[in-house]
Amino acid sequence: MAFHTTHWSVVLAAREAESKAADEALAKLCSTYWYPLYSFVRQRGFGHHDAEDLTQEFFGRFLARQFLSNVSPAGGKFRSFLLTCLKNFLVNQHARAHAQRRGGGHSFVALDAQEAETRFSVEPTDNLTPDALYDKNWAWTVLERTINALEGEYAAKGQGQAFEELKGFLPGGTGGESRAESAAKRGVSLGAIDVAIHRMRKRFGALLREEIVRTVSSEAEVDEEIKFLISVISN
């Protein structure tokens, strides 16, 4: 398995040289993980506006490469790296918790603050530590990216409707109807539905593995990270 285009390769390339492409790649990483980071800050006890400001300032410093000087090629798990950076940042920012708006009011990464707060307000967070909430939202972010990639593949083959009808059978899916109901709805046998679900789950597994590969620095960590993700979303 090749590790050529991963989150780590993006970070390492940005550390070595500043360029528009590197800036855009780093910004995309920040946009991908902004909600897990935001939810961690909120769960640490910061209010909505302070959490929004702190998350944006964290992004600003990340884009300015302030956290990249000591990154090594064998970086380990990207989720752990991000969380460590954020924790260190919050410690340094503690004395400024009620100071002027972070980043001078600038938005370094586009995010919908109202959407973030709405999402946070409906999460059952009472029994979760900030670290556990971060891991949970990281896992669901990876899962969402995988499902979106799978949906794109089905749409490209003109099978978007089939995807919509069967996506409930994927890990994390709600499964609104049974296999028998799905078969009757589509006018096919139960065996045909089972085959379609098996193929979708198999491709989902392959895409999930590709997504996880982007977040670690060695193949040895892939299976471990997949098991961790499954355990998080199962709880």
Model confidence band, residue 63 (pLDDT cutoffs 50, 70, 90): confident
215: which 2 tokens? 């977040």
Q: What is the structure's pLDDT at 1?
A: 36
Q: Give me the helix-helix angle, 20-43 and 130-156, nearest 10°.
A: 130
Q: How many Å from the N-terminal Cα to the C-terminal Cα in the chain?
A: 30
Total-model pTM: 0.81
CB proximity list for 42: less than 8 A, separation 6 or greater:
48, 51, 120
Q: What is the structure's pLDDT at 6?
A: 82
Mean pLDDT (whole number) for 127-136: 92
> Is residue 176 helix, strand or coil?
coil
d(CA 25, CA 68): 14
The one-letter amino acid at 150 = L
Model confidence band, residue 191 (pLDDT cutoffs 50, 70, 90): very high
Mean pLDDT (whole number) for 133-158: 94
Q: What is the structure's pLDDT at 98?
A: 46
Model confidence band, residue 229 (pLDDT cutoffs 50, 70, 90): very high
Q: What is the structure's pLDDT at 2?
A: 38
Model confidence band, residue 106 (pLDDT cutoffs 50, 70, 90): low
Is the pLDDT reported for residue 104 higher than 50?
Answer: no
pLDDT tens-place string over residues 201-224: 999 999 999 999 989 888 889 999
* Residue of higher predicted confidence among 101 and 31: 31
Alpha helices, DSSP H only, in the chain?
A: 7-16, 20-43, 48-63, 78-93, 113-121, 130-156, 160-166, 179-186, 190-213, 222-234
